[in-house]
Structure 1
Amino acid sequence: MDSTGTSGVFARDYAELDRAVQVGVAGGRVISVSFPATVPDDATEDHELLDRIEAYLRGEPDAFDDVVVGLTVPTDRRGVLEPLRSVPYGEEVSVSRLTRLAGLDADDPKDLELVTAALNENPVPLLLPDHRVRGGPYATPSTVRDAFRRVEGP
């Protein structure tokens, strides 16, 4: 997805989630994805990514791997979150497997602490799909995570 030059806050209600999805975009890069109860007053509902999310929730496969993300997290957490994009649509990995994908030691408590902190603070869930990790924690609320898993399920 190329949103070059696009900036703003975009949101839309989705009946499948019983809530809204809000996307923050700066300079064409998605910098935040959140799930407020309703569309904020200052948000615009018209954005290509929101159209794609709607199609995804209707069951059209989409890994969102072409969406340009502006990840604003410390480097060590970026190293944990970026490998989430390699987890294929409809598949899951354990926290231990994600730890190894990030080049860390799944037996090291400090590495596991880093991984769980990164997952918990993921600023762009769905695009960096923490719902594909078994045994979280998650930035994605449980009801939203369950809906994403149903969409991608077997």
Structure 2
Amino acid sequence: MTLTADDTGVYARQSDRLDGVVQVGTASGRVVAVSFPTTVPDDAASDGAVLDRLFAYLAGEEDDFRDVTVALTVPTAQRAVLEAVRNVPYGQTVDLDRVATMAAGIDPDDEADRETVQTALRENPVPILVPDHRVRGFAGATPTAVASTLREIEGIRL
């Protein structure tokens, strides 16, 4: 999904499914943040292409969001991890070792590289678009209750 350079702003909407707010930040046609604040910000728009897709997904429409352009402003090694996690298919899971193996330049047997994987997932700026909820045995940036609902939507049983 290609956004235009005019697609810049904050979009947010209350989600009954998540019992909270979903917020998307875009800049120059790229998604830079997905978050789950407690209230809809006063300056947030409620209609946006990515937000609409997220709500269709929350309603049960299968979507892997791999075509959504994201701007990952993180160190290169962490970017490799997050890009690898984007490739985990809808409804499937991987463990940390598999994420490390999938990420370019990451050695799953190296302790520093394992920490890089964990840091990347904990600091994931675009949960759902980078589906850290599909990583077994590790809590990423997606809040626990949200991750649980996302796994339920996708039919994932841990």
> Which TM-score bucket, shorter chain as reference?
over 0.9
Q: For residue 113 of structure 1, what is the aligned residue in structure 2?
A: 115
Counterpart CA distance in 1 for 2:26 and 2:50 is 10
RMSD of aligned residue pairs (Cα, Å): 1.0
Q: For residue 71 of structure 2, what is the aligned residue in structure 1?
A: 70
Q: For residue 32 of structure 1, what is the aligned residue in structure 2?
A: 33
Identity %: 55
Aligned partner of 2:19: which letter? D
Q: How far has the Cα of 1:107 moved from its partner?
A: 2.0
Q: How far has the Cα of 1:14 moved from its partner?
A: 0.5
Q: How far has the Cα of 1:120 moved from its partner?
A: 0.4
Q: How far has the Cα of 1:32 moved from its partner?
A: 0.4
Aligned partner of 1:3: which letter? L
Counterpart CA distance in 2 for 1:112 and 1:30 is 26
Moved over 4 A (4+): none
Counterpart CA distance in 1 for 2:34 and 2:21 is 10
Q: For residue 2 of structure 1, what is the aligned residue in structure 2?
A: 2
Unmatched 5+ stretches in structure 2: none
TM-score, normalising length: structure 2 = 0.94
Counterparts of 1:1-154 in structure 2, within 5 Å, are 1-5=1-5, 6-103=7-104, 104-153=106-155
TM-score, normalising length: structure 1 = 0.96
Counterpart CA distance in 2 for 1:10 and 1:57 is 16
Counterpart CA distance in 1 for 2:4 and 2:137 is 36
Q: How far has the Cα of 1:105 moved from its partner?
A: 2.1
Q: How far does the alpha carbon of each residue in 1:25-51 deviate from its partner, in whole angstroms, 9 at most, with x for none?
A: 000000000011121111110101111
Q: How far does the alpha carbon of each residue in 1:60-94 deviate from its partner, in whole angstroms, 9 at most, with x for none?
A: 10001110101111111101111111100000000
Counterpart CA distance in 2 for 1:28 and 1:106 is 34
Task: Name the SS for the 1:45 alignment partner.
Answer: coil
8 Å CA contact 2:24, 2:35 repeated in 1 = yes
Counterpart CA distance in 2 for 1:42 and 1:143 is 26
Query: How many residues of Structure 1 are paired with residues of Structure 2 in the alignment?
Result: 154
